Homo-oligomer: A and B are copies of this chain.
């Protein structure tokens, strides 16, 4: 099923084993067996995880005799970061703007207490 890359990337990283694989590949390239070694699941299961990560564009595999070393592709992370930062910042700004508005209202109220008494609450 053709899915947009952002969905694929998020889905790929929703699995702790796959995040773990990414963490290991951040240190350096590794073969499928090397990546599978720490887990008690089958090599085929790890191979599937690698396929998911590859299809999401998070890693690539080259050929080295029978081995297929995996390499982390850092660029895709930017796609996520961009999406996240966009909405985080927007929400944050809105929150700060609300804060400012509330502060202004407070100032206005304080003002009316000094000049005019009988402000509504």
Give a binary string over A15-26; 1 marks a CB under 8 Å from any B CB, 0 the rest.
110010011011
Residues of chain B within 8 A of A87, CB atoms compared? 22-23, 26, 72, 77
Q: Using Cβ atoms and an 8 Å threshold, which residues of chain B touch A77?
A: 84-85, 87-88, 91
- One digit per residue, 1 when the CB lies within 8 angstroms of any chain B CB and 0 when it does not, for chain A 45-80 equals 000000000000000000000000000101001101
Q: Say how far A30's CB is from chain B's closest CB, in angstroms.
A: 13
Within 8 A of B (CB), among A84-121: 84-88, 90-92, 94-95
Shortest CB-to-CB span from A74 to chain B, Å, is: 4
Which residues of chain A in 1-33 are interfacial with respect to chain B, using CB atoms and an 8 Å cutoff? 4, 6-8, 10-11, 13-16, 19, 22-23, 25-28
Give the number of copies in the complex.
2
**Which of under 10, 10 to 19, 20 to 34, or 35 or more describes the interface residues of A?**
20 to 34
Q: List 13 A-B contacts (CB under 8 A).
A: A4-B16, A6-B16, A6-B19, A7-B14, A7-B16, A10-B11, A19-B83, A23-B87, A26-B87, A74-B92, A74-B95, A77-B84, A81-B84
